Structure 1
């Protein structure tokens, strides 16, 4: 029997515009509802009766590896210091087509060091209002292309493909063009927000070096629907 379960690899969480990087575990809002006892002397059969009270969306726990240069982790720490309510979004893999969005405050930030373990990062977000679980996926990109001398997109773009490589680049920079009518399009470079894209229009030039590949992430979203994430690893060969 074919199983509907999907792997969690590729799940992301954003604080504002920045993705929080190098995570190995992402929780979610956990909604509970208080109960109000409305039992009276004439309640039928001697059973207690209840109505719903306030709802509480709980806390979202994060854990992973401490990366001081990660803009998302830095934003979490800044949010703890400020105490301000932030906008968060959990984006599940595209095959699921689901997201959580919620306001929250950061209530804990912890860096862990243990013998024979990588230095860890932990944080807790208190959901501060109504969370929204969106189960209607955006249509996503209808076209994706990059320009840069020598570069080849592999595999060729398909509407059901979300992970690509753009290899063999000899140019000093590349541009990316994403097409998706009636979508907001956001471009990230190595996890950091770079710019809002206009459908069918090339991005600004993205500088490359031969010392490291760059990961381009495009998040496409139709209003009122869940986001779809595309990733392109760009490799400069000379």
Structure 2
């Protein structure tokens, strides 16, 4: 089997990826054992059966980014609330883990010779699902808004884009993907399920600045493909 590069792996809190990570650890699946040895057991060996299973923990580390409100800050908020939320680990070659969990640890660190660090830990709750077959993804992606230009040119296997130079107060997005459920998020907040080949509702950007658009294209029982577009208004 050919080894797969980890570059491009993401962990999502809901639909938003956690920014500026250098390592994502886990999952670590394990199971308890129950001894079943009896006086009739043969060969002098103990026998066992499987007991309760445990999804383990997922750890992550990287650089602290307080502006990552839908990623690192969302993990901090989840730690304080204790809420059970949905997570997803997406590998760049099309596999994924889907699981629910609670945030059990948030840590930052400051060392003289290094950038300020960020660490987090999630305790998996319930059964995680391993997706091994990737969704087909989008076949086309366009954005419409005065002054805006999409870079690089769309490629179904390219996940990251920018739509820069926008001077309009809103833009629309058209994603095409036959047989896909296509969801649109703006700054990590769900907006709508898109109809393949049809324009989205208006995405407001009234002031100079940026927004992150996330598109999740998913076929049933397959790992989703995620596309992220940084929308930049310059005037």
Calculate the TM-score normalised by the size of structure 1: 0.83
Match of 1:107 in 2: 104
Q: Unpaired segments of 5 or more residues in structure 2?
A: none
**Equivalent residue for 1:193?**
189
Residue aligned with 1:80, SS: helix
User: Following TM superposition, by how much is the alpha carbon of 1:168 offset from its aligned partner in structure 2, in angstroms?
Assistant: 5.7
CA distance, structure 2, for counterparts of residue 12 and residue 175 of structure 1: 26
CA distance in 2, matches of 1:187, 1:181: 16
How far did residue 99 of structure 1 move?
A: 0.9
CA distance in 2, matches of 1:18, 1:165: 16
Normalised to the residue count of structure 2, the TM-score between the two structures is: 0.84
What is the total number of aligned residue pairs between the two structures? 232
What is the CA-CA distance between 1:213 and the residue it aligns to?
Answer: 6.3
Once residues 86 and 214 of structure 1 are traced to their aligned partners in structure 2, the CA distance between those partners, rounded to angstroms, is: 23
For residues 99 and 48 of structure 1, do their structure 2 counterparts lie closer, same or farther at Cα, with a shift above 3 Å needed? same
Q: Is the 8 A contact 1:174 1:208 kept in 2?
A: no
1:116 counterpart = 2:113: yes
- Distance in 2, Cα, partners of 1:155 & 1:69: 25
Give yes or no for the alignment of 1:30 onto 2:38: no
Tell me which residue corresponds to 1:77: 76
Residue 156 of structure 1, CA deviation: 3.9
Partner of 2:55: 57
Q: Among residues 126, 129, 134, which one is paired with 2:126 in the alignment?
A: 129
Q: Deviations over 1:167-196 (max 9, x none)?
A: 56554543221122343323345x533523
Q: Which residue of 2 aligns with 1:45?
A: 43
Root-mean-square deviation (Å): 2.6
Q: Distance in 1 between matches of 2:161 and 2:82?
A: 38
Structure 1 stretch displaced more, 61-70 or 132-141: 61-70
Offset of residue 89 of structure 1: 1.0
CA contact (8 A) 2:188 2:214 kept: no
- Post-superposition Cα deviations, 1:98-130, rounded to whole Å, max 9, x if no partner, equal 111111111111121111221111111111111
Once the two structures are superposed, the pairs formed by residues 124-163 of structure 1 within 5 Å of their partners are: 124-163=121-160
Decide whether the 8 Å contact of 2:185 with 2:192 is kept in 1.
no
